[in-house]
Amino acid sequence: MAKRRNRGRAIDGVLVLDKPPGCTSNEILQRIKRMYGAAKAGHTGSLDPLATGVLPLCFGEATKFSQFLLDADKAYVVKAKWGERTDTSDADGEVVERCSTDGLTQAALLPVLEQFTGEIEQIPSMYSALKHNGQPLYKLARQGVEVERPARKVRIHSLELLEFDATHFSLAVSCSKGTYVRNLVEDIAAAMGNLAHVVELRRTQAGPYTLEQAVTVETLSQVLDSGGHKALDELLLPLGTSADHWPELELSESTAFYLRNGNPVQIPGAPVEGWVKMIGPNQEFIGVGEVLDDGKVAPRRLISNSN
């Protein structure tokens, strides 16, 4: 009889990882999952191998809320090089076109940045994780295949110019889900009559999580070596932090009972629309809900111990 495989530890919480360069989000997820010996874990949206910064990893019950973090707003600091376009739109690719950078000025760039603030349309790069007939676009691109990609609407909340010279420029970008910063850089350069590609990309925020909360792989290794799994677990943030960017509602015992049984309820002080974080009568995190057209709050994701 075959020995039953150890499925790992049942742990719940969110780790805000400072993703290192040179690996995919899934590769680093699997590495951290092994370090924790966790039974269940998932990430909250891909970062390119070149990119670093905030990558929330969800363990156990927290995976129920990973989609909401995937859909949340993001913030980045990006550095781009003028005068060159690459096949991947970043420094990991091959240069396919060059142009002169003569005449580029900061004064000309600032009004262009204003044009790209607000709702814009982007055509996703072939080097993205979007799928065509079940196949990731980046895999098709590596095979030399290009397919038509419909434009997608995204929102750029703010664009701040951090640095500018004749060879590079850096931006702080706050944006909606689905924004491709590589495409944004190329489009800004095109509006300047020039070319550009990303050389550095660092995510500074994902939903409620920021770089200040992020932990490096090196720190995790040191903590594991010195304190084992117990010490690692202390770095996990509570499940409820995944909904900290939404209004919080405190429930009475009866209201919590009905919500736990899947019933929409009327809650005093609830917003008129959108998503809410729900806190039980003992200040415990219950889950998240959505305000319906009639003003009631419907449960959308509940943690298991609230059932």
Who contacts 12 (Cβ-Cβ below 8 Å, separation ≥6)? 59, 60, 61, 62, 236, 239, 303
Cβ atoms 172, 158 nearer than 8 A: yes
Who contacts 55 (Cβ-Cβ below 8 Å, separation ≥6)? 16, 17, 18, 19, 25, 28, 43, 44, 45, 47, 203, 206
78 in helix, strand or coil?
Answer: strand
Q: How far apart are CA 202 and CA 189, in angstroms?
A: 20
Strand partners, 30: none
Q: How far apart are CA 278 and CA 297, in angstroms?
A: 10
**Residue type (1 letter), 306:** S
Q: How far apart are CA 277 and CA 189, in angstroms?
A: 40
41 in helix, strand or coil?
Answer: strand
Give the 3-state secondary structure of 220-263: HHHHHHHHHHHHHHCCCECHHHHHCCCCEEECCHHHHHHHHCCC
* Residues with catalytic roles: 48
